[in-house]
């Protein structure tokens, strides 16, 4: 990571794309490729196979970029990273709420570079971000250290962390959550995501209903040729504050879908989003033995 941080952003991204192309060439023997192919087949069944294959390749290249960019976002000085933010769309949605003393729930999907967005917001506004502590304590300490230097407070995904989130929202702050990964079975509901039943976290909709704050979507889109990033913010879909957790979770997923459609190649399609099946059918990511 430190070696990559010595490189210009464009060169680091080139290395990331090279790694992604290598994974693509391995086909189903490489798990990341297989997961990506399966997700795209589930989510875009009407898309021609050649187009899906092209999207899979671009997605893996962007995943490589995300890994390479960790050296940039975690080790470069914040000022140097922020120079790579070339434009911001919709920031007035955030400023209007916070200037009136109201908190914001931020839907931050695994799209583009979420670390750059976290840095940008933390340098301008009070931010608390929820995260799931990794099993390795040393890696947990590294995450906390690197993200704390950006200025945001980190709330673990446990009871203590939830109290931190509620306090931050009632205090007129931004609370950022990456809500597009599977929760534990009892902490989620099955609602559609790209037409597929997906186990979706209940916590975010419950926070939205309990606090009544504005819900905003945000992500940092990667620009071409190492130019940098464009940050994009927009209001979430109607129903996201509903007290009906299924209705609210479905609205949250529709909000994520809308963002993904804006730059589908930059979404983390490599994640096993549909691992749990509502009907008890087989895990779609289980490949036949060779």
pLDDT at 184 over 80: yes
Specify the pLDDT at position 272: 96
Question: Does the pLDDT at position 239 exceed 60?
Answer: yes
Burial category of 50 from C-beta neighbours within 10 Å (exposed 0-12, middle 13-18, buried 19 and up): exposed
Q: How far is CA 234 from CA 43, 145, 222, 242, 258, in A?
A: 23, 30, 17, 18, 10
| Helix runs in 76-179, H state only | 78-82, 91-99, 114-122, 137-148, 159-170
What is the pLDDT at residue 136? Answer: 64
Span 58-88, pLDDT tens digits: 999 999 999 999 888 888 898 999 999 999 9
Residue 236 has pLDDT above 90, yes or no: yes
In angstroms, rounded to a whole number, what is the distance separating the alpha carbons of residues 196 and 80? 41
Give the Cα separation of 284 and 197 in Å (integer): 12
Q: Count of CB atoms within 10 A of residue 174's CB?
A: 26
Q: Say whether pTM exceeds 0.85.
A: yes
Query: How far is Cα of residue 153 from the mean position of the Cα atoms in its chain?
Result: 17
Task: Output the average pLDDT for the chain.
Answer: 92
- A 10 A CB-CB count for 87 gives 12
136-150: pLDDT as tens digits: 666 666 666 666 666
pLDDT at position 134 is 64
- Nearest alpha carbon to residue 152 among 136, 168, 141: 168
Q: Which residues 6+ apart lie within 8 Å of 273 measured at CB?
A: 39, 180, 181, 182, 193, 198
pLDDT recorded at residue 17: 96
pLDDT of residue 144: 67
Closest to 118 (Cα-Cα) out of 81, 92, 86, 89: 81
**What are the beta bridge partners of residue 131?**
156
pLDDT for the residue numbered 34: 96
Q: Is the pLDDT of residue 289 over 80?
A: no
Average pLDDT over residues 237-248: 97
> Would you state the structure tokens that stand for residue 7, as one six-digit string?
């490189």
Name the residue with tokens 């804006």. 262
Quote the CA–CA distance of 104 and 120 in Å, as a whole number.
16
pLDDT of the residue at 252: 98
For residue 226, the Cα-to-chain-centroid distance in whole angstroms is: 21
Nearest CA among 56, 18, 65 for reference residue 221? 65
pLDDT of residue 63: 96
Beta-strand relationship, 174-177 and 127-131: parallel
Q: Where are the domains of the chain?
A: 2-266
User: What is the mean pLDDT of the segment spanning 164-192?
Assistant: 95
Distance separating alpha carbons of residues 76 and 246, to the nearest angstrom:
41
Angle at alpha carbon of residue 57, lines to 51 and 50, rounded to 5°: 20
């Amino acid at each position: 990571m430190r070696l990559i941080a010595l490189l210009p952003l464009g060169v680091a991204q080139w290395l990331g794309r090279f790694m992604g192309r290598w994974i693509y060439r391995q086909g189903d023997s490489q798990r990341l490729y297989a997961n990506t192919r399966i997700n795209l087949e589930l989510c875009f069944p009407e898309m021609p196979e050649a187009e899906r294959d092209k999207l899979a390749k671009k997605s893996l290249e962007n995943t490589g970029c995300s890994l390479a960019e960790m050296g940039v976002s975690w080790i470069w000085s914040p000022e140097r990273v922020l120079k790579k933010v070339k434009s911001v769309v919709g920031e007035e949605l955030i400023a209007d709420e916070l200037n009136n003393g109201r908190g914001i729930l931020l839907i931050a999907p695994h799209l583009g570079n979420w670390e750059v967005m976290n840095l940008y917001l933390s340098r301008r506004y009070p931010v608390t971000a929820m995260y799931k502590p990794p099993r390795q304590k040393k890696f947990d300490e590294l995450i906390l250290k690197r993200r704390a230097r950006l200025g945001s407070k980190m709330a673990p995904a446990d009871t203590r962390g939830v109290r931190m989130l509620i306090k931050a929202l009632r205090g007129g702050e931004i609370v950022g959550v990456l809500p597009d990964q599977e929760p534990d079975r009892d902490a989620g509901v099955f609602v559609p995501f790209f037409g597929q039943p997906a186990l979706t976290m209940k916590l975010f909709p419950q926070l939205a209903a309990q606090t009544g704050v504005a819900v905003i979507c945000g992500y940092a889109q990667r620009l071409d040729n190492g130019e940098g990033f464009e940050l994009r913010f927009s209001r979430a879909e109607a129903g996201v504050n509903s007290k009906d957790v299924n209705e609210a979770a479905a609205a949250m997923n529709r909000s994520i879908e809308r963002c993904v459609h804006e730059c589908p190649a930059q979404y983390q399609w490599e994640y096993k989003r549909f691992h749990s099946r509502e009907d008890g059918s087989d895990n779609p990511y289980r490949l036949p033995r060779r």
